[in-house]
Amino acid sequence: MVKYDRFPGGKRYALTFSYDDGGAQDRRLVELFNKYGMKCTFNVMSSSLKNENGKGIKFNEVKSLYEGHEIAVHTVNHLHLERMSPTDQYTEIFEDKKVLESACGDIVRGMAYPFGTYNSDTLNVMDVCGIVYGRTNVPTNSFLLPENFKIWNPTCHHNECEPMVKRFEYNATKAPWRAGGVLYIWGHSYELDNDDAPTNWERFEAILERLSALKDNVWYATNIEIYDYTQALKSLRRSADGTTLYNPTDTLVCISNNDEPVDIPPMTKVRINL
Ligand SMILES: [Zn+2]
């Protein structure tokens, strides 16, 4: 039986993080993610990059600080998009994308909604702007990926992640019958400065340490890497008898055949015995 149930390396689980607002504490957070080899998507509002006197992240710092991670749109001014005209939403999204791209030198294709909110105009404007996914603030408390990536609900906020981390550890190491999936944690780095919060810096690092022990079973990826991988899987072509698969994309994909991982390299035809 062929299943599309793998990530790169034949892994059945992935882990991703999404942090908003680009505050000064991102510097400490990036260090932590780098220490444990994990990947995060940082959602940055470009108006904050222009504040030369504040402690926040500066425009010229973006490229080196977030190296190896993903930068994504969080709009220019962090307003409620659903209360704006489509034209103003366009300006908020597209101008942010432009500034972030000139800061990081890459093509920015993702987004987290300010306050987690949007309307149907937002989804149309994203198409015009080349933004392929949008993250909300609604927790799924599951490891499921969305059918529509423009409404990408995360697993949980970091303050409520403890039970989900525990379940993820169990599923990834002790429960091969479980379906696999993605642990998606979001938050704001400045929240970790709050000693009274359920998750402060020390507790967060302890969680990363636990998750780093799963590296043989878990793919650490940015949001856009997970999006692109999922699209590549969906693009696979398969013969009627099921034995020939062709990967027309530039992304190596991995599937399972009778529970064994099978790599299908980019632009390559692979034959399998069912
Ligand atoms: Zn925000």
The pLDDT tens digits for 103-145 are 999 999 999 999 999 999 999 999 999 999 999 999 999 999 9
pLDDT tens-digit readout, 216-266: 999 999 999 999 999 999 999 999 999 999 999 999 999 999 999 999 999
Q: What is the mean pLDDT of the chain?
A: 96
| Percentage above 70 pLDDT, the chain | 100
Cα of 226 from ligand 1 centre, angstroms: 22
Residue 162: what pLDDT? 96
pLDDT of residue 191: 96
Round to whole Å and give the CA distance between 158 and 143: 15
Å from CA of 157 to ligand 1 middle: 13
Domain architecture of the chain: domains with CATH = 16-224 (3.20.20.370), 236-271 (no CATH)
CA 256 to each of CA 1, 6, 19, 148, 222: distance values in angstroms, whole numbers, following the listed order:
8, 7, 32, 24, 23
Overall average pLDDT of the 52-78 stretch: 94
- Measured in Å, residue 130 CA sits from the centre of ligand 1 at 21
Query: Once rounded to an integer, what is the mean pLDDT over residues 42-63?
Result: 91
CA of 192 to the centre of ligand 1 (A): 15
CA–centroid distance, 7 to ligand 1, in Å, is 29
Confidence grade of residue 54 (pLDDT, cut at 50, 70, 90): confident
Contact 18, 222 (CB under 8 A): no
Asked if residue 52 has pLDDT above 80, the reply is: no
Residue from 147, 71, 141 nearest 112 by CA = 71
Cα dist from 22 to 29, 54, 126, 207, whole Å = 11, 12, 21, 22
Up-side HSE of residue 21: CA atoms within 13 Å toward CB? 15
Residue type at 260? E
Report the alpha-carbon distance of residue 192 to residue 199 in Å, rounded. 6
> Taking the complete model, does pTM exceed 0.95, yes or no?
yes
Neighbours of 70 (CB within 10 A): 24
Q: How far is the CA of 17 from the centre of ligand 1 (A)?
A: 14
pLDDT in tens, 141-167: 999 999 999 999 999 999 999 999 999
